[in-house]
Amino acid sequence: MINVRDRQFEAYQAFLLGCKLHWTGRIFPELHALYREKAGRAANAGTPPREAEDAAALLEGEPLYRQFAWLERHLQRFKYSGRWGLQPAHDRLRGEIEAELDAPLPPGILELDPSLEVPTYFASVDIHQHPGGIWSDPIAGYVYERGARSTTPLMQQHKDLHWKFTALVNERRRGRRILDMGCGFGKSTRPFWAEDRDAQVTGIDIAAPCLRLAAQDAAAAQARNVRFLQRDCRRTGLPDASHDVVTSTMMIHEMPPPAIREAFAEAMRVLEPGGLMVHLDFIPPDEPFMRFMHFGHGRRNNEPYMEPMVRMDVKETMRGLGFRNVETIDFEEMPGALAARGERWRFPWTVIVGEK
């Protein structure tokens, strides 16, 4: 895989990462402490905050919150844009990157569908502030992969969460025929095919640029038990009861509730009886401050479906489709993350499980 090797680019991105660590570990806890102080005064006055909107009323006028929100929005923008942003840096290597993505692949590892219509809900928003989205530019998968390396900055020294999630899924059921919905550039799919070379793994995604990178990476690792298909997770075209495990990682919060329901229904269709559906995504605690911060992140990071996804009843939706033993489980992405909740900013990682 081609990496940008430019000292100015690396220094710029390292500076932004340092700023994000300060935002995560210093500004966020100060903001949380300010909220607790103001919430305590509100409770003493007989009006304790009960909803995210109540937390907003307490904090939105505070300079510290405005600083936090500005940095959240613009550190992400700076990461992608500007002279040393990810997009222009990779643009300068476009010819090399496209040549690598065009390299011959083993038969059957990649199937693209140029006629696939990108859903309006997906195409109308530059998710994560990724210029043009992750589907419209041939090198978007490269840019997305590089950007993902600093999405969770506190995890740099810990085992990747995708491997942790795979271990959790395997403890529940070691799949023989695994479908990974919204696989992106293949990072969520890799642990499944790498951990068990006897399993047959299929990764699907709408974004062809990401799938092309996923396939090249798998081919470089000489994987023979994985394939990547350009499909809509709501209508995969895969046979009924053809898989025993269906997963996704950080996918459903990028879909409006009707599309989430369609994806769950499609998972139910392609699962065999007794099969397992497991999604790793974000559901904040039912607590005003945490929900306010999570909903604000969605607005500032161009993820407009984060709040509707939380407000829909995911578990009841699954039960209505026929899933059994439905549950949501807090997921600890690195050691001590749950015990330190509220002391630093983190995504509210949650595992969503149901059986057919």
User: pLDDT tens digit string along 239-266?
Assistant: 999 999 999 999 999 999 999 999 999 9
Whole-number CA gyration radius for the chain = 21
CA atoms within 13 A on the CB side of 224: 2
Give SS3 for 33.
Answer: helix
Residue from 106, 151, 25 nearest 162 by CA: 151
- Distance (Å, whole) CA 182 – CA 342: 29
pTM of the full structure: 0.95
**What is the share, in percent, of the chain residues with pLDDT greater than 90?**
90
Contacts of 169 (CB under 8 A, 6+ apart): 175, 192, 245, 247, 276, 278
Across the chain, what does the average pLDDT equal?
94
- Full strand arrangement of the beta sheet holding 349-355: 110-111, 226-230, 200-205, 177-181, 243-249, 271-282, 349-355, 324-330
Per-residue model confidence as pLDDT tens digits over 51-110: 999 999 999 999 999 999 999 999 999 999 988 999 999 999 999 999 999 999 999 999
- The confidence score (pLDDT) of residue 153 equals 57
- The confidence score (pLDDT) of residue 157 equals 44
- The confidence score (pLDDT) of residue 158 equals 45
Give SS3 for 92.
Answer: coil
Q: Is residue 151 very low, low, confident or very high in pLDDT (cuts 50, 70, 90)? A: low
Q: Per CATH, which fold does 157-355 belong to?
A: Rossmann fold (3.40.50)
Residue pair 59/33 in contact by the 8 Å Cβ criterion:
no
- Using alpha carbons only, what angle is made at residue 87 by residues 82 and 89, rounded to the nearest 5 degrees? 80
The pair phi, psi for residue 349, each rounded to 5°, is: -60, 130
Per-residue model confidence as pLDDT tens digits over 287-317: 999 999 999 999 999 999 999 999 999 999 9
Per-residue model confidence as pLDDT tens digits over 331-352: 999 888 888 777 899 999 999 9
Domain chopping of the chain, boundaries: 7-89, 157-355
- What is the DSSP code string of 117-146? PPPHHHHTS-GGG-TTTTTSSTTHHHHHHH
